[in-house]
A = this chain, B = another copy of it.
Amino acid sequence: MTIRHETAPMPAAPLRLAEVAARAGVSESTVSRVLRNIGPIAEATRVAVLKAAEELGYVPNRLAGALASTGSALVGVVVPSLDNIVFAEVLRGVTERLEEAGLQAVIGVTGYDLAREERIVSALLAWRPRGIVMAGIDHTPRLRDLLAANGTAVVEMMDIDGAEPALDRRVGLSHGAAGAAMAAHLVARGHRRFGYVGHDISRDIRARKRLDGFAAELARRGAVLVAEEMVAGPSSVAAGRAGLAALLAAHRDLDAVYFSNDDMAVGGYFHCEANGIRMPGDLAIAGFNGLDIGQELPRRLTTVRSPRYRIGQLAAEQILTRQEAAEDMAKPATIDVGFELIAGETA
């Protein structure tokens, strides 16, 4: 015997296409065609079917639909983290664009762990998604093989630096160039002795690329990266604050400090503010991302803006247009969305 909660009205009526067809007095195929808007349908039939479906509260079973037609309306989206507003914004761009096209995002979070990324993508592939959107261009060899053998549309987001060939399409920016641009800017402002405060850079590959670009450009311009302070764990305001404190304790003679991103830089900003260190007079600070919070500080943070929402949208678009473009070599496989240096008031 089954006891049902009073508020649950019906035994979860397994409503099928057949029920709608019966009620509308037509065949299943006709209902299917009406619901998907394909083929020629008499207006009277269309109306009757729509009415029947509406009255019954019919919700088509997309699992069956996808199975029958090969190709689901699902898109896998893999991001490294959701602690940070950055990927949430990318995700928003992706989901919004997908929604317009009637597709849905299945998400996975890797925690910046490539092995986990491999597992997650593999699991995502089981839904035969229309495509996979993932952050970063660095993957395990096994994942590369899997995706290649699979033939699924793949978009790698955020990053475009790297020797590895693109899996399929790329939408992002050069983090090396972004780091270099900031180095150039800071040197032009007269700073010479630099420090760096970062978070766990072995995992955040793009932060490392920025640092590498930054350091290389400093060297080229005759400035020097005196010290690097790496804080364990993910980036955060607290880590940035603690990191700067530690860095300055060991090195009193720095002109400027580059942070792995804006969260960290805002932490540095607060450290300065709390300790009477004037920016940029006593110390210049700079970040990366162009987060709103940095631009609302009493002194606007000097940083590089990455078009995150746009990247998300473009990535989704790549999946959407992939069919037409499959053999169209005119479409570039890599889209560089660029970045914008924000010359704030902290450097």
Would you call B108 and A104 a contact (CB within 8 A)?
Answer: yes
How far is B102's CA from A120's CA once the two chains are assembled, in angstroms?
10
Q: A105-B106, A292-B236 are in contact. Are A92 and B83 (CB under 8 A)?
A: yes
Q: How distant is A296 from chain B, measured CB to nearest CB, in Å?
A: 4
Would you call A72 and B82 a contact (CB within 8 A)?
Answer: no
How far is B83's CA from A127's CA once the two chains are assembled, in angstroms?
28
Contacts of A120 in B (CB 8 A): 99
Would you call A337 an interface residue if the criterion is a C-beta within 8 Å of the partner chain's C-beta atoms? Answer: no
Would you call A297 an interface residue if the criterion is a C-beta within 8 Å of the partner chain's C-beta atoms? Answer: yes
Number of copies: 2
Q: Which of A4-12, A130-138, A186-194, A281-289 contacts B (4 or more CB under 8 A)?
A: A4-12
Would you call A270 and B241 a contact (CB within 8 A)?
Answer: no
Would you call B238 and A296 a contact (CB within 8 A)?
Answer: yes
How far is B292's CA from A293's CA once the two chains are assembled, in angstroms?
12
- In the A-B complex, list the 10 residue pairs whose CB atoms are closest, starting with the nearest: A12-B151, A88-B88, A62-B126, A82-B92, A237-B296, A274-B298, A82-B88, A63-B67, A59-B125, A106-B106
Apart from the given pairs A82-B91, A237-B296, A238-B296, 13 other A-B contacts in the complex at a CB distance below 8 Å:
A10-B149, A12-B151, A61-B67, A61-B128, A83-B88, A88-B91, A96-B109, A102-B123, A104-B106, A106-B106, A266-B293, A266-B296, A270-B298
